[in-house]
């Protein structure tokens, strides 16, 4: 139905007001309240739980049906048939690439993976025990001090060059943050390796022996990158958009997104899964722990999801990947992974968890996979940031290219003191 409107009526005798209803291609319609401020009032929506802050063509989520689409393509199909860089091209450009376009895109990303040599001095300014996310926030933000030739946000070519640089250099920064914390020499990107293979090479290779990338592990990591590449208007993406709305350069905006992702309520979920497994200790303790979950004395991490009220569509893919990795490495009998599989078994069979739809989510399985690969827990969130960089830059680019872009300026419901006059200090009681 075209030209739908919603009518707002007051119970104090004021006249009614009408606001247009805007339809999307998928998902709920939205009420356009841009003229609501003319009433002298604002809407109140803490956490933006019922507010569409932008229009976007990038990612769609239906939490009730368990659907996640990148540019209209179901995540399950991309994880099975695509690779991370092809998914990056899709998110940035709106369509899947031709063979030549993919070859050119892959080449452009891989040729930008090196860092300016002076950037290494930034790492040496941090303590060895600094959290890698602290290092990433600082170093990514500092990229704007080295790449002045692509900072005109109104130039489409500059935006494209910045996108390539960010997608290419963030894995290098993440890997070097890890190696610095271990006192290892920096390992540089290597020609001939894929995006995921290069990351594993930069993480684990040594100067004294050739490092051979396990293709099963590289494929698993590539899937993790795809599944975390974007997730609509989440906290960190909204942070990038808000920072970008001021005209800030893209490196600063992505650094802001990394800082937001660092929060335990956002990017630290798979890290929390491993901490939970350590706290449980062994398979024998699982039944008592799950009873504690039911009694609200223990918190179950990696199960259920704020957005997905059904099965997280990414979890099924990661479960398959988890099984592949554990089989490849012969870890099914490892105590920690046996413990995780017992948790999964109870959650999928116990009516308490089924009725509450507390299914294992992507964080549960990705945490197990990353741990099995040998990636330390402190690097889980940096890997999330690495994967999400393309989503952030896609949203930033979409916003900057919008001729109707406005600087973000949320309003508030003020509940502080009313006007009062200053009192000299010796007269205060």
Give the number of other CB atoms < 10 A from CB of residue 42.
13
Asked about 152 being catalytic, the answer comes back as no
Q: Do residues 373 and 325 lie in contact, with contact meaning Cβ atoms separated by under 8 Å? A: yes
Distances (CA, A) of 361 to 378, 380, 393: 20, 15, 25
- Nearest of 342, 157, 307 to residue 231 by alpha carbon: 307
Asked about 332 being catalytic, the answer comes back as no
The single residue listed with the structure tokens 């860089």 is 85
The single residue listed with the structure tokens 């070859």 is 103
Catalytic residue among 363, 395, 421, 426: 363
Catalytic residue among 83, 305, 312, 395: 305
Q: Which residues are catalytic?
A: 305, 363
């Amino acid at each position: 139905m075209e030209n739908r409107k919603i009518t707002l009526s007051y119970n104090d005798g004021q006249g009614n007001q009408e606001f247009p209803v805007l339809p999307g291609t998928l998902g709920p319609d939205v009420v356009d309240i841009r003229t609501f401020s003319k009433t002298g009032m604002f809407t109140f929506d803490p956490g933006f739980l019922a507010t569409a802050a932008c229009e976007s063509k990038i990612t769609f989520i239906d939490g009730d049906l368990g659907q996640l689409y990148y540019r209209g393509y179901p995540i399950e199909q991309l994880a099975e048939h695509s690779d991370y860089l092809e998914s990056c091209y899709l998110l940035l450009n709106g369509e899947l690439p031709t063979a030549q376009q993919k070859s050119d895109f892959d080449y452009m990303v891989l040729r930008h993976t090196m860092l300016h040599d002076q950037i290494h001095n930034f790492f040496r300014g941090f303590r060895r025990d600094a959290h890698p996310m602290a290092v990433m926030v600082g170093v990514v933000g500092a990229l704007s001090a080295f790449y002045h030739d692509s900072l005109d946000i109104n130039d489409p070519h500059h935006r494209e060059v910045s996108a390539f640089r960010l997608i290419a250099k963030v894995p290098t920064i993440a890997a070097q943050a890890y190696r610095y914390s271990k006192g290892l020499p920096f390992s540089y990107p290597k020609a001939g390796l894929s995006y995921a293979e290069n990351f594993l090479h930069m993480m684990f290779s040594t100067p004294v022996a050739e490092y051979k990338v396990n293709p099963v592990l590289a494929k698993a990591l590539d899937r993790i990158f795809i599944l975390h590449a974007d997730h609509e208007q989440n906290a960190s993406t909204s942070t990038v958009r808000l920072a970008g709305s001021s005209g800030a350069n893209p490196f600063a905006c992505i650094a802001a997104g990394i800082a937001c992702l660092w929060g335990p309520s956002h990017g630290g979920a798979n890290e929390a899964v491993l901490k939970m497994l350590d706290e449980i200790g062994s398979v024998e303790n699982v039944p008592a722990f799950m009873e504690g979950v039911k009694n609200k004395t223990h918190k179950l991490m990696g199960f259920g999801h704020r957005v997905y009220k059904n099965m997280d569509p990414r979890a099924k893919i990661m479960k398959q990947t988890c099984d592949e990795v554990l089989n490849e490495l012969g870890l099914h009998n490892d105590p920690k992974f046996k413990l995780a599989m017992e948790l999964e078994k109870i959650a999928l069979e116990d009516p308490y968890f089924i009725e509450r739809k507390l299914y294992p989510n992507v964080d549960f399985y990705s945490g197990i996979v990353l741990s099995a690969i040998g990636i330390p827990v402190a690097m889980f969130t940096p890997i999330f940031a690495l994967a999400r960089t393309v989503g952030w830059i896609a949203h930033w680019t979409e916003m900057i290219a919008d001729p109707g872009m406005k600087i973000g300026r949320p309003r508030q419901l003020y509940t502080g003191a009313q006007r009062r006059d200053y009192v000299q200090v010796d007269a205060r009681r």
